[in-house]
Amino acid sequence: MPAPAGLRYLAVSVLLFGGIWPVTKHAFAHATPLWFALNRAGLAALVSATLLAALGRLRAPRRADLPAVAAIGLLQLGGFFALTHLALGFVPAGRTAILSNVTVFWLVPLSVLVLGERVSPRQWAAAAVGLLGVLALMAPWAPPGGASSGVLAGYALLLGASLAWSVAILVTRRLPPQRPVLELLPWCFGLGALLILPMALLREPAGGIGREAWPHAAFVGAVAAPIGTWATIEAGRRLSGVVASLGFLAIPAFGVALSNLWLGEPLGWDVLLGGALILGSVAIAARGG
């Protein structure tokens, strides 16, 4: 039986991370993507630093932690936030929730090429199923003009975001930090904010976050990002790998459901098929072997 505490952390992670995308999409009526991403990273850095200071666990990273801090901060947080928020300007929130979780089909070939790991037939099958899910969502067979260039660019940005996350995972596998990742979060979020700041200044010089969007920005930056990350780490630590991996499948599922109920995004066959294939690929990979 999974530990009850682990399941509670898992539930918090699903609710917060699954809800980020429709909340962010709704905020974009009064905010620009990169400034919203900057707020997400910067506010999360402040909140996580405050929480760790209250617990007496706020410390500077050690030299051995720096590769992981750089990978998580620049790729998994800064790069991922920037690319996904830009993509969300073109792609529906439900599809974003799904496509931002396709690290499995990047991780399998990269683990072979970069780390020299042996990959099982089951893991190759998982990557192939995940790729089919991505193709179903992108619908390359659609007639010309069926998908605008902006939507296609959004899909490319989401695939780039999942690639950035995958590379960060590989770096932390090869060069794991000495301190718990939870204690490194303020530095990682802060580094991510430093990456996004010049991008926001250059691409959105007249952008920002309007008054109507500040409640959304406060939720995403002060609650969902730091507390959701903490809950995800704790769930992964307390639950078995299979239970955690399968449980995290509920994050994009909740994002799709909330996008449909709140934003009125349609649940077409391509969303249902693509989502099912991508979730199935993670389930196959979670079984290992």
Torsion of CA 175, 177, 181, 183, to 10 degrees: -150
Question: Reduced to 3 states, what is the DSSP secondary structure of residue 143?
Answer: coil
108-131: average pLDDT: 75
Angle between helices 181-203 and 33-54 (to 10 degrees): 150
Question: Reduced to 3 states, what is the DSSP secondary structure of residue 139?
Answer: coil
Backbone angles phi, psi at 95, to 5 degrees: -65, -35
Question: Reduced to 3 states, what is the DSSP secondary structure of residue 120?
Answer: coil
Q: How far apart are CA 92 and CA 23, in angstroms?
A: 12
Which two structure tokens, joined as six digits, stand for 177?
């930090």
- Please give the angle made by the CA atoms of 99, 100 and 106, to the nearest 5 degrees: 85
pLDDT computed for residue 192 by the predictor: 97
Give the tens place of pLDDT for each residue, 63-108.
999 999 999 999 989 999 999 999 998 888 888 887 777 766 677 7
138-161: average pLDDT: 70
125-131: average pLDDT: 77
Q: Is 137 within 8 Å of 95 (Cβ atoms)?
A: yes
How many other CB atoms are found less than 10 A from the CB of residue 76?
24
% of the chain at pLDDT higher than 70: 86
- Please give the angle made by the CA atoms of 193, 55 and 218, to the nearest 5 degrees: 40
Total-model pTM: 0.84
pLDDT computed for residue 251 by the predictor: 79
DSSP class of 90: T
Q: Is 181 within 8 Å of 68 (Cβ atoms)?
A: yes
Give the tens place of pLDDT for each residue, 176-214.
899 988 899 999 999 999 999 999 999 999 999 999 999
Nearest partner of 32 among 204, 287, 174, judged by Cα: 204
Domain count, the chain: 1
Specify the residue for token string 């995972």: 169
13-27: average pLDDT: 91
How many other CB atoms are found less than 10 A from the CB of residue 139?
15
Residue 200, domain extent: 4-286
